[in-house]
Amino acid sequence: MYARILVLKAEPSRRAEVEALADQAFAIMKTLPGFISVHFVISAEEDKYGSFSLWESEEAALAAGDSIQSQLAGTMHDLVSAQPTVEVFEVYKPG
């Protein structure tokens, strides 16, 4: 299992728009091969937003990023104040 972690910066006044973007991203993710789950997060200052999604394989996590980016690039570009960061990690489950 692999985790895909995205962090983006946007103005606190745009929270509702970022949440709408998260809803769109979820609608895309749940149709993609290898999708397991996603959680969206917001910093206390409401200027950083993120997603933590789980995928069956590294390939699925990477392909998901490409698919989501191609479908939401225009909307995301208008909202963010800096280039989003994305990292993919292998998940370790103890026990």
Q: What whole-number distance in Å separates Cα of residue 52 and Cα of residue 3?
A: 7
The predicted model gives 18-39 an average pLDDT of: 96
Nearest to 3 by CA among 46, 25, 48, 35: 35
Comparing 80 with 12, the larger pLDDT belongs to 12
**Residue-level pLDDT at 75:** 80
Q: What does the pLDDT look like over 30-84, one tens digit per residue?
A: 999 999 999 999 999 989 999 999 999 999 999 998 899 888 888 877 888 888 8
Residue that has been written with the tokens 């997060």 in this structure: 41
Q: From the centroid of its chain, how far is CA 76?
A: 11
In the chain, what are the domains? Answer: 2-90 (3.30.70.100)
Could you tell me the pTM of the whole model? Answer: 0.89
